[in-house]
């Protein structure tokens, strides 16, 4: 990964030619000509200073690297060290390319993927159970500040067990998913052979609230299960 970063000139350079542009504040603050009536002493003080912009070419090179990264949140009371998380990923995930843990900020980690399909699969099919914790992945986006993020929802695959065969249909499973949270999609195949043990639905839920423990299904004969 180090070679990859050097190849893309990752990080700010120290050249003074065009790496940064600085715009000085050119406002005119003449306090001597202001009267007490014109000056509001209780108004918030506006802060002015130089404005710095990055070289667009440098941003393109850096975003080329970060676009192959995912932001991972460890949903657990523990904080895994980078070597420990790297070991878990190497021993658990069986994907085409390599995944490198770039760094950590509190419960957030940055994972770099060598293969785009691996990145899309890991973000779309998670969260992932690692050493008793859940690892929630989302693809990196422009202008994100890691320590300013907050995990507000997580998409989970939920299995519906104990249904009679005639109740194993997508319409009923979708209604159940809407009771659990925000329904996203269902893993269902009407062809045979099929999975008759349970049905799987993907639902978006608030990870900080308790999950619905269960609900009653009223049968056509009046019984409830």
Report whether 111 contacts 65 (CB < 8 A). no
Best-predicted range by mean pLDDT (3-12, 25-34, 44-53, 123-132): 123-132
Predicted confidence at residue 79, as pLDDT, reads 93
Per-residue pLDDT reduced to its tens digit, 54-92: 888 888 899 899 999 999 999 999 999 999 999 999 999
* 98 vs 221 pLDDT, higher one: 98
- Domain 66-148: give its CATH architecture: 2-Layer Sandwich (3.30)
Mean pLDDT of 176-182: 89
- pLDDT confidence band for 40 (50 / 70 / 90): low
The mean pLDDT of the chain is 80
Q: What angle do CA 168, 213, 207 make, to 5 degrees?
A: 105
Structure tokens at 93: 């995930």
Mean pLDDT of 87-108: 94
The answer to whether residue 119 scores a pLDDT higher than 90 is: yes
The answer to whether residue 117 scores a pLDDT higher than 70 is: yes
Report whether 155 contacts 77 (CB < 8 A). no
Best-predicted range by mean pLDDT (13-27, 112-126, 185-199): 112-126
* 44 vs 60 pLDDT, higher one: 60
In 3D space, the residue among 154, 171, 172, 147 whose CA is nearest the CA of residue 208 turns out to be 154
| 215 Cβ contact list (under 8 Å, min separation 6) | 176, 179
Instruction: Name the residue ranges covered by the structural domains of the chain.
Output: 66-148, 154-205
The answer to whether residue 18 scores a pLDDT higher than 70 is: no
Structure tokens at 18: 């065009």
Cα 212 to chain centroid distance, Å, stands at 24
Number of H helices, E strands in the chain: 5, 10
Predicted confidence at residue 142, as pLDDT, reads 86
Mean pLDDT of 110-132: 93
Predicted confidence at residue 28, as pLDDT, reads 40
Whole-structure pTM value: 0.67
Instruction: Please give the share of the chain, as a percent, with pLDDT higher than 90.
Output: 35
């Amino acid at each position: 990964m180090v070679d990859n970063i050097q190849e893309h000139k990752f990080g700010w350079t120290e050249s003074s030619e065009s790496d940064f542009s600085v715009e000085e504040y050119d406002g005119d603050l003449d306090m001597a000509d202001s009267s007490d009536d014109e000056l509001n002493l209780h108004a918030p003080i506006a802060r002015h200073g130089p404005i710095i912009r990055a070289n667009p070419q440098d941003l393109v090179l850096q975003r080329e690297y970060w676009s192959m990264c995912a932001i991972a949140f460890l949903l657990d009371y523990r904080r895994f060290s980078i070597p420990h998380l790297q070991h878990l990923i190497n021993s658990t995930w069986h994907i085409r390319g390599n995944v490198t843990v770039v760094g950590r900020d509190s419960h957030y980690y940055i994972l770099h993927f060598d293969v785009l399909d691996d990145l899309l699969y890991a973000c779309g099919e998670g969260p992932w159970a690692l050493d008793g914790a859940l690892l929630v992945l989302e693809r990196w986006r422009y202008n994100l500040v890691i320590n300013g993020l907050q995990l507000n929802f997580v998409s989970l695959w939920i299995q519906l067990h104990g249904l009679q065969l005639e109740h194993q249909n997508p319409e009923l499973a979708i209604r159940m998913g809407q009771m659990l949270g925000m329904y996203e999609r269902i893993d269902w195949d009407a062809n045979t052979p099929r999975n008759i043990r349970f049905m799987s639905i993907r639902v978006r839920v608030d990870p900080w609230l308790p999950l619905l423990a269960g609900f009653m299904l009223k049968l056509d004969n009046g019984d409830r299960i």
